[in-house]
Structure 1
C-alpha cells in the first residue's frame, strides 16, 4: 500500500510521515519512506545524520531510467523516458521484498527499520534553471514500476500545499492523509486539495495535528466533517524529537500512538485499485506527451503505452 502525507507547510506532515513509517515498521512489514518534499527533512525525522542519507534519486534520473526501461522495445532510450512513462512488456518492475539496483542503490535503513529514499535538494547546476518537479519525477517513475503487495508499505512525504498537483504523482497512492492544524489556513489547504482531487477518485482523510484541546477538535470537525479521521494532541515527546533529543516510539503519548494505529487501520482497509492506477498512468502520460514531452524528446510518446500490459501484482518483470 502507498500513502502520501500532504498539507500546509509547517503542519507537521514530515514529522507524521516519519512517525507513521516507524510505527508501521514496528509491526514487522517492509516499509520504504520517501522524501519527496523540496525541504528534505524526513531523514532527520527518522533519526539519520545528514552524512548518512542515501544517494538522491533526483540527481541520478538517467541511471534509474536505464534500469527501469529494461528491454522494453517501446522506449527507445533513457532520454525518451519521462516521469510519466508507464511500464510495459520488458520493463523492470520493482518489489519491496527483493534486492534490486534501485532499492539497494538509493535507500538506507534507518534506526527503527524503515528504508529511506530521497529525491534530494537542488544542486548548484539546478539553481535558476530547473524545476523541482523534475526531481520528484523519479518518485513517480518508482511508483509506476512498483508492485507492492499486502503488508508492504511506501510512505511519501510530499511537497507542501497543492503543489503536488503539478504532476500526476497525486494519483499514485492508495490513500492520502492531509495533515491539518486547527487553523483557517490549514483547512483552506484541505479544501483546495479535496477539490483538485475530486475528479480522480483520490481517497483523502484529514489528520488533525498539534491539537491542544476539545475546541481544536470541534473546529476541525466543523470545517472538514467526516473527512476528519483522527487527531494527534500536542506532544512533548514529538517536540523533543524535533529538537534532536533521543526518541523512540515508546516515548510517544498513548493517545498519539493509538492515532497512528488508526491511520494504519484506515490504510489497510483501503481497496487496492490497480485498474484505476493503470488507467490514470496512461491518462497523465498522454497529457504530458501532448503538453511538452513530445516536443522535448522529439518522439511521439503515446507509442510508449503498451496496450497489452496489465498493472498489478500478477505481472512479472520480463527483464532482470
Structure 2
C-alpha cells in the first residue's frame, strides 16, 4: 500500500487539470484519487469518498465505511457530513435504522444553514418519524431551505399552500411555489406545476411540464403517476400514463413490466400495441425467472443499495475537491 500512497504534496503538485484528467479516466481511477484526498484530510474528498463507498462507484460498496467517512467530515465541521450521517441513520446505511438519531444530525446540519439538513429534518417532523410530529416547524424549515434555492423544499411549500396545512389554502401562492420547484428541476414540482396549469386551461404548457416530470422522475413516482393518470378519459393524459408506466419499468421488477405490458395491450393513450405488449410480457417472465434463480442462491447477505439520488452530490463533491487542491 505504501507504493500506492498519494501525498497531499503530490495532489497539489499535479494541479486541478491533471487530477481532473485522472479522475475522468474511469470510476476506479476516480476512486483512487478521491480516496487519496480523503486520506490527506480534504473534507470535500472525504464526502466524495463516502458517497463512492455508499454507491459502489469505482470501489466495493461498503456502507459502514461510508458512514465512518461522513462522520470524519462531520467532526471537521462539515454541514453536509452531518446531513449524510443523518441519512445513514434514517435509511439504515451501515447502521441500524434510527430516525431519532437521524433527526439529531439533521438538526445540527440545519443549524449550520444546510438546505438538505433543513429539508430532511422537515420530512421527519412532517411524518412524525423519530420525533414528535410538528407540521408548523416543518413548514418553517421547508421555507428556509426553499429560500436557499432548494427545489424540493419549494415544492413542499407549494403542497402546504395548496392543501391548507397549518394555514388557509392559497392556490395562487401554491402555483408560484410549485413553479419554483419545477424550474429548479424537482420532478414532483414539475408534475404539480403542470397539473395546476392544466386545471387552469393552459393545456399545452401543463402537459409539457408533466411530461418533463415523468422523463426525470424515479420509477416509484412514475408508477404512482401512471396508475393515477390511466383512469383519465383524456387521450393526452393516457399517453402520459403510458410513458409513466414505461419509465416505472426501470425499477427492474416484473410487476412494473406487467403493468406496462397490460397498458400496451389495452391501447392506453391510443391504439393497442399487441406486438409490443407480447414483448413486454415476455420480459416480465424473464425477470420472474431471474428472481426465482436469485432467491435459490440465497442472496440475503447482499448489501443494501442506497438511493441513486446521491449521485449529483458526488459530482459536486468531486468538483469541490478539485477546487481545494488547485
* TM-score, structure 2 normalization: 0.29
The structure having more radius of gyration, on CA atoms, is: 2
- Greater RCO, 1 or 2 (C-alpha within 8 Å, sep 6+): 1
Structure with more strand by fraction: 1
